[in-house]
Amino acid sequence: MSKLTDMEYTIKSNLHENELDSKYKKDNGIFYTDLELANAIVNFLKIPKTASIIDPCCGMGSFLFSLKERGYKHLFGCDFDERTVKKCKSVLNMRNIRCIDTLGNSGNKVLKQINKQRFDYVIGNPPYAAISGETELNTNSKFSSLVKESGNNLFVAALYRSFEICKDNGIISVIIPKNLLHISSYKKIRKELLKSKRLLSVIELGIHFKTVRGEQIVLTFQNCPANPENEIKFYKYNKGNIEYMSSVLQSYYKNEIIVFTGNDEVSIYDKLKSSYKQLGDVCSDYIRRGHDKSKDAITGKQIRKFGFKNRKVPDKGNQIFIQNIFSAEAGITASFAGNLKPAETVTILKMENEQLCKYILGLLHSRVCNYFLIRFEFNNSRLTIHTDAKYLNQIPIVVDNIAMEDVIEIVNRMEEVEYMSAEWFELNESLNAIVYDIYKISDEDRKYIEAEMRKISADKWYGENIHIAC
């Protein structure tokens, strides 16, 4: 068989993927890695030529193709789908690709079926799908329970299995959903991995797979006990290139893994996290979702920054209403709400009094608080996220009684002036200047935050390309 070009391989791989039933792919979390990304990861790993390598959920074998093209000999692939295995073997002209359910069999059983010892490298892109119904995990009860407790997803099972089939001190490098780093359902596996394994690097991919909801990362581990002095290096993927961003000691993390895009961010995070109270400490009553179903209940769509559409801001009360659906481009969208009724698409902050409400409302709209929320609580996600208590509770809050009067005065004016008028934007900039001073943000860090928020925020929130909403 003549040697395939990258283009020829890509065409054959895409053709096979497109021939698979869409429901079948969705139910089993099937989506193939493009060759450009596979090549970038292979180059990044700098794998010795003598290494034994397995892709345990290989699909059409983009990693295997990339490795074979670079002269690697000790390659092995597995996939649960018989049609895919047959096609992959034919396209790659490789015998060492087997139809084995690596997630439904123990690591020892997988190795026994392929008559191999544990591997130097385990790499690939495991499936992402919740384990239920057709995706039920058929394996021993202990392993199934562990996976269920750790997030109940196929990629979680794949991670645990990878460590079973990898040699001691070997390398595991896998493409997985970014939300493993911070959401509560993956807390158990996250804590376990940080405690027991050496995390070498995290590569930000963004929304790489257009048919998959969510963002992706590449995690690379060494299969050995965690070392407090181990440095986790952070990178970003950009059109075939993997670019260094920052590094942090593994011991820095206890639970959530924040991706720092630069070392400047670490000091800013430390200051904001350790120097001030959190919103959850300041909120006198609760932060929760609304649940009023009456026709006069306020919905998220009715809220705009510092006000409502087609409704005056109430004069009295002790509530802030926040749009529950959050986008990084807009940031927090909230209003003083008096004693209005909130619908399910609203997050409510109930405070001690009206004055504190207005003050906190001003802080929440500032670039300081939005930067903290987007970068560190939402881990720089560009997806639509909910402003639930879990995230809002952590926002750093400074209750500055001296500056409070100035903040409240600006908030009151922004409630009164024409929405997104020149005066409205002037007041907004004045508010941000005061908040930077309240948080004692240095000029250097202020410039950094401003530059980062410029990258994230829509131009209209700076008074550019304004479209006045009715």
Q: pLDDT tier at 465 (50, 70, 90 boundaries)? A: low
With bands split at pLDDT 50, 70 and 90, how would you rate the model's confidence at 61? very high
CB atoms within 10 A of CB 299: 17
Cβ neighbours of residue 46 closer than 8 Å, sequence gap 6 or more: none
Number of CB atoms found within 10 A of residue 138's CB: 9
Q: Average pLDDT of 339-356?
A: 94
Q: What is the mean pLDDT of residues 405-426?
A: 97
Distance CA 373, CA 388 (A): 11
Q: Give the pLDDT of residue 470.
A: 31
Largest CA distance in the chain: 80
Q: Are 64 and 43 in contact (CB under 8 A)?
A: no
- Residue found under tokens 């009151």: 412
pLDDT tens digits along 90-101: 999 999 999 999
The whole-number pLDDT of residue 138 equals 64
Phi then psi for 429, rounded to 5 degrees?
Answer: -65, -40
Categorize the per-residue pLDDT at 468 as very low, low, confident or very high, splitting at 50, 70 and 90.
very low
The average pLDDT across 160-182 equals 96
Q: Please name the residue that has the structure tokens 């998959």.
A: 212
310 pLDDT higher than 90: no
What's the pLDDT score for residue 469? 39
Question: pLDDT tens digits for 110-155?
Answer: 999 998 899 999 999 999 888 876 556 767 778 888 998 999 999 9
Q: What angle do CA 227, 176, 186 make, to 5 degrees?
A: 70
Does residue 207 carry a pLDDT above 50? yes
* Residue found under tokens 């202020």: 446
> What mean pLDDT do residues 301-315 have?
95
Q: In this model, does residue 466 exceed pLDDT 50? A: no
Is residue 8 pLDDT above 60, yes or no? yes
Mean pLDDT score of the chain, rounded to an integer? Answer: 92
Q: List, in order of start, the domains of the chain with CATH numbers.
A: 6-261 (3.40.50.150), 277-462 (3.90.220)
Percent of the chain with pLDDT over 70: 97
For the ranges 177-181, 281-285, 448-452, the lowest mean pLDDT is seen at 281-285
- The confidence score (pLDDT) of residue 136 equals 63
Tell me which long-range contacts 105-109 makes (C-beta under 8 A, separation of at least 24): 105/139, 106/139, 106/140, 106/143, 106/164, 107/161, 107/164, 107/165, 108/164
pLDDT at 247 over 70: yes
pLDDT band with cut points at 50, 70 and 90 for residue 179: very high
Looking at the chain, the whole-number percentage of residues with pLDDT higher than 90 is 78
Q: Is the pLDDT of residue 464 over 80?
A: no
Give yes or no for residue 274 having a pLDDT over 60.
yes
Quick one: average pLDDT of 323-338?
95
DSSP code for 402: H
Entry field: residues in the chain: 470
Predicted local distance difference test score (pLDDT) of residue 51: 97
Q: Which stretches within 286-376 are classed as H helix?
A: 354-364, 367-372
The pLDDT value given to residue 210: 75
Query: Looking at per-residue confidence, does 289 or 381 come out higher?
Result: 289
Q: What are phi and psi of 406, to 5 degrees?
A: -65, -45
Three-state DSSP at 357 gives helix
